[in-house]
């Protein structure tokens, strides 16, 4: 790699950087097809949840990377899974 060339839309000028290396970030596409007709999603396709992690379908919860607003970190996803288990228990107790 010799360099990275950007086009700055504000200044309408090219910027050329010569870093030692680059990390390529290709973005995230949530794999939520299985529930796509059941839950409300944000513009990126991530599942929208309430504060108790419930989706727009009562009794259906979401945790981890597929959830809108999640941090996309392994530790957070595991924690959200544990939190959802408690929320499910709470939901079922009230039934």
Ligand X SMILES: Cc1cc2nc3c(=O)[nH]c(=O)nc-3n(C[C@H](O)[C@H](O)[C@H](O)COP(=O)(O)OP(=O)(O)OC[C@H]3O[C@@H](n4cnc5c(N)ncnc54)[C@H](O)[C@@H]3O)c2cc1C
The footprint of ligand X on this chain (CB under 6 A) covers a number of residues equal to 9
Q: In the range 29-58, which residues lie near ligand X by CB under 6 A? A: 31, 34
Residue number, nearest CB to ligand X: 64
Min CB(16)–ligand X separation in Å: 28
- Rg value, the chain, Cα: 20
Binders in 9-28 for ligand X, by CB under 6 A: none
Q: How many CB atoms lie within 10 A of CB 53?
A: 21
Residue 53, both tokens: 């992690």
The only residue of 75, 92, 93, 94 in contact with ligand X, by rule CB under 6 A:
75
CA 65/CA 68 separation, integer angstroms: 8
Residue 49 burial by CB count (10 A; 0-12/13-18/19+): exposed, middle or buried?
A: buried
The nearer residue to ligand X, 17 or 75, going by C-beta atoms, is 75
Residues that bind ligand X in the complex, under the rule CB under 6 A: 31, 34, 64-65, 72-75, 77
């Amino acid at each position: 790699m010799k360099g990275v060339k950007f086009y700055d839309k504000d200044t309408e000028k090219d910027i050329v950087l010569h870093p030692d290396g680059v990390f390529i970030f290709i973005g995230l596409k949530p794999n939520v097809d299985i529930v796509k007709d059941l839950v409300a999603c944000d513009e990126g396709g991530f599942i929208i949840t309430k504060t108790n992690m419930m989706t727009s379908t009562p009794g259906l919860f979401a945790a981890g990377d597929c959830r809108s607003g999640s941090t996309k970190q392994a530790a957070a996803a595991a924690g959200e899974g544990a939190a959802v288990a408690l929320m499910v228990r709470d939901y079922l107790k009230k039934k």
